[in-house]
Amino acid sequence: MTIIFLVNKHTGRGFDRADINHEYDKLIKTRHMDKDCYMNDPPKVFTFLGLPIDSVMIAHAGHVLLPGQLEALRFQRSYWSRKENKTITYGHFTAGNGKGWCTYDPAGNSNAVKYGHLESKRIFTRSK
């Protein structure tokens, strides 16, 4: 949903639930994305949805964007699970404002953002 948000923000393309389900099915069929929403080729996913992207890179949390770049933020949270008797660590992606602040959280108010930390960024460079 972070990519859908970024495409909408930068192109004005609207997505309703039916559009999202239809695009999801097409992305799975073309193998740009797995059923669990893992992006096999993020630039192709963006381009497929109408926002041409040339490249993606993993950057440190303090990375400063250059003109033509967009960011997705990867928050990470670890906690002790009494039920499983071990530490659980997970990540969660949100959209950023270009300065490392969350502007859109697909989960609404995720614990990873509230209680975790900004682990890294995914930097997407727009096609010229």
How far apart CA 125 and CA 14 sit, in angstroms, is 22
pTM above 0.75, yes or no: yes
CA 122 → CA 52, 88, 118, distances in Å? 16, 23, 11
User: Is residue 122 packed enough to be buried (19+ CB in 10 Å), middle (13-18) or exposed (0-12)?
Assistant: buried
What are the structure tokens assigned to 54, written together? 């040339």
CA 14 → CA 26, 38, 59, 63, 114, distances in Å? 17, 22, 29, 29, 28
- Can you tell me the mean pLDDT for 32-53? 93
- Can you tell me the mean pLDDT for 12-23? 93
Per the listing, tokens 């530490």 go with 87
pLDDT category, 128, cuts 50, 70, 90?
confident
- Can you tell me the mean pLDDT for 13-26? 93
Answer yes or no: is pLDDT of 119 > 90.
Answer: yes
Answer yes or no: is pLDDT of 111 > 90.
Answer: yes
- Can you tell me the mean pLDDT for 91-117? 94
**117: phi > 0 → left, psi -120 to 50 → alpha, else beta; which?**
beta
User: Is the pLDDT higher at 105 or at 128?
Assistant: 105
pLDDT value of residue 42: 93
